[in-house]
Structure 1
Amino acid sequence: MTIRMTSNMMSSTLLGNLNRNLYNMDNLEQQISSGRKINKPSDDPVGVTYALRYRSQLAGNEQFQRATDTAQSWLDETDSQMGSAGDVMTRLKELMVQSSTGTYSDTDMQAAANEVEQLKKQLVDIGNSKFGGKFIFNGQAYGDMPYPVAAGTDYSQVETDNTAVKYVIGENIQFQINTTGNEFFGMKGDSDNVFAAMDRVVAAMKSGDQSAITAEMSGVESRTNKMLAARSEVGARTNRVELVNSRLLDQEQNTTTLLSKTEDLDVAEALIKATSAQTVYEAALKSSANIMNSSLIDFMR
C-alpha cells in the first residue's frame, strides 16, 4: 500500500527534526555553560538518585569531621592541662623531699608550706579549665564550675560530675572525650585525693613534722601515677580521633570523586558533540530550505 506524502506532512516532519536537533544543541550548550551533565532530573533520573545519595553522604561526613575536630581540640586542651598538673606534682614532690631531710629551718618550712598552698591553687585553676566555654573536668555539667573558688572551700570534699561527654564522630560511633575531675584529682574520701594530700602536707610542714611529710609521699606518688594513667588514656583517645578523621577525609575524597563522575561534564567531549550537533542542525536547515522552496512551477520548467 502506497502512502501519499503531502507537503504538509513533509513540513511537519522537517520541523520536528529541526526542533529535535535544536533541542540537542541547546542541551549541550547548557551542559557546557554549567559544567555539569545533569542540570535537571530528566537529564539522567538514575544519575540524579546517585548524586543525591553522594551529596547526603558528604553532608554527613562534614558533620562528623566537625565533631572530630572539636573532639581533638578538647583532647589537646585536656592533655595540655594534665601536663601542667604533672609539673605541679613534680614540684610538690621536690618540696616534700627537701623538707623531709631535716635541713630546712622553721622559716624554710613555712616558705615550703606557702608554696604548696600556691601549688594547690594552681591545681584548682587547672581543674576549672575551660574549652569553648565548657569546663573540661566536670562531665556533662560542663556549664558549672567544678571547683568553686570561694574562700574556705574544702576541695578534698568536692565531687565533680561523673557522666561521660560523648561526641558522634562516625556512623553509630559515640566517643567519650572527657576525663572527670574525680578521676584525675581524686574522689571525695580517696586516701590519695590530691587536695586532701596537699592539705596534710601543708599542715605537716607548718608543724615541722618531717615524718608526717614522708608518710604522705606514697599517697602523692599514687595520685601522680593515676594522673599519668589518665593522661595516657587521653593520648590513646587522641590517636583514635586522628585515625577516624583520616578515614573521614579518605571517604570524603572517594565520595567527591564519585559525585564528580556522576555530575561533572567532560568538556572536551561535550565541545565535540556540540560542534557535531551544530553542523547537523545547519545542514538540516540548508536541506530543508532547498526542499521547502520547491513548488509545482519548479517541476514544470
Structure 2
Amino acid sequence: MLFDTSVRNMNKAVERVLRAQEEVATGRKVQRPSDDPVGAAFILDFRASIANLEQYQRNITWGRTALGGAEAALSGLSGLLARAKELAVGQASGTATAETRDVTAIEVRQILAQVLAVGNTRVNDKYIFSGYATDTAPFTAGSYAAYNGTADSIDVAIDPGVNIATNLVGSQVFQGAGGVYGSTNVLDTLDDLATAMETNDVATIQAIVGTLDNAVDQVSAATADLGARWNRLDEADFRHVQVKTQLRSLLSDREDVDMIRAASELTIGQQTLEAARASTARILKSSLLDFLR
C-alpha cells in the first residue's frame, strides 16, 4: 500500500514537470483543448476575430492603393483642364488671331492626348477607370464618345457587411455618364475646342470656356468622392487597430504563460519528483530487505 502511494505521487510529479516544461517551451498555458476546454474556445474565437480584422486591413491597404492612383490621376486631370481653360480664354479674346488660334490648337491637341492617357491610367498593370474590364483601356483616341470599360464598382469589405468602392468609373468622370459628377464629356470638349481654334470659330471657343468650368467642377466632385472614401477607410482602419489591440490583450491573458511562475513551477516540480523518486527507492529497498529476511 505504501509503495503504491509512493508510485502515484511520483507519477503526479512527472506529470507536473512535463506540463511545466511544455509551458516554458511554448509560452502557452493551453497546449491542447482538453487542458482547458472553455479557455481553448475563447482562444479560437479571439484568433478568428483577429484574422478577420487583419483581412479587413489588407483590403483597406489595397483600397488605399487603388484610390491613391485615382486621386493622383484626377490631380493631373485638374491641372490639364485648368491649362485648357487658360488657353480657351486667351483665344476667345479680341486680341487673338486666326494664326494664334491655329498654333494654340496644337497645344490643346496635346492636352487632349494627355487627358486620354490619364483616363487610361494603370495601377499594378490594371486600368483603374475601366470598371471590371481592368485589362482593357477604357478610352480610344478619336472615339471620345466611346467607353470600353464597364460601369461596375470594384468593392472590398472593410467591416462586417460594409463594402466600399475602390475605383471610379471612367465614363462618369471623363464623359459625364449618368450625371454622377456632372454631364460634361471632357474628351469631346477638348476635341471641340481644338477644332474651333483650327477653324477660327470664336463663338464656339467662347462657349467652351463655360463648358470647361463645368468639367473642372465635375473632376472636383469626383475628387471629393474619393476623399470621402479615404475617410471611411481611415476610420475603419483606426477601429480595427484598436479592437485588434484589445483582442490580442485578451488572447494573451488566456493563452500566454507567466514565465516566472512557469519556471518556478518547473523547479518545484523537479524537486518534488526527485523527492518522490527517493521516497520510492527507500520504500522499495526496505520491502526488498524485508523479503530477503
TM-score (norm 1): 0.89
2:42 to 40, 47, 50: 50
Distance in structure 1 (CA, Å) of the matches to 2:288 and 2:72: 97
Q: Is the 8 A contact 1:157 1:188 kept in 2?
A: no
Deviations 1:123-148 (A, max 9, x none): 11011111222211111222221112
Q: CA deviation at 1:291?
A: 3.3
The structure 1 segments of at least 4 consecutive aligned residues displaced by more than 6 Å after TM superposition are: 188-191
Q: CA deviation at 1:93?
A: 0.5
SS in structure 2 opposite 1:162?
coil
Instruction: Give the superposed CA RMSD.
Output: 2.1
Which protein has the larger Cα radius of gyration, Structure 1 or Structure 2? Answer: 1
Partner of 2:150: 161
Q: CA deviation at 1:295?
A: 4.9
Partner of 2:265: 273
* 1:82 aligned onto 2:71: no
2:192 to 190, 195, 200: 200
1:211 to 181, 203, 206: 203
Q: CA deviation at 1:179?
A: 1.2
Partner of 1:4: none
Q: Is the 8 A contact 1:157 1:189 kept in 2?
A: no
* 1:289 aligned onto 2:289: no
Residue identity matched to 2:175: G
Q: How does 1:67-216 map to 2 (within 5 A)?
A: 67-149=59-141, 153-158=142-147, 160-187=149-176, 192-216=184-208
Partner of 1:229: 221
Q: State the number of aligned residues.
A: 288
Q: CA deviation at 1:297?
A: 6.8
Greater mean alpha carbon deviation, residues 181-190 or residues 249-258: 181-190
Sequence identity percentage: 30
Distance in structure 2 (CA, Å) of the matches to 1:222 and 1:141: 28
Change (3 A) 1:195 1:277: same
TM-score (norm 2): 0.91
Q: Is the 8 A contact 2:184 2:214 kept in 1?
A: yes
Distance in structure 1 (CA, Å) of the matches to 2:288 and 2:71: 96
Residue identity matched to 2:154: V
Q: Is the 8 A contact 1:88 1:123 kept in 2?
A: yes
Q: CA deviation at 1:175?
A: 0.9
* 1:220 aligned onto 2:220: no
Q: CA deviation at 1:257?
A: 1.6
Q: CA deviation at 1:192?
A: 2.6
Q: CA deviation at 1:68?
A: 0.4
Greater mean alpha carbon deviation, residues 115-124 or residues 251-260: 251-260
SS in structure 2 opposite 1:143?
coil
Q: Is the 8 A contact 2:139 2:146 kept in 1?
A: no
Unaligned runs of 5+ in 2: none
Q: Is the 8 A contact 1:156 1:194 kept in 2?
A: no
Residue identity matched to 2:25: S
Distance in structure 2 (CA, Å) of the matches to 1:170 and 1:192: 35
Partner of 1:244: 236
Distance in structure 2 (CA, Å) of the matches to 1:213 and 1:136: 32
Greater mean alpha carbon deviation, residues 223-232 or residues 257-266: 257-266
Change (3 A) 1:296 1:25: closer
Q: Is the 8 A contact 2:56 2:158 kept in 1?
A: yes
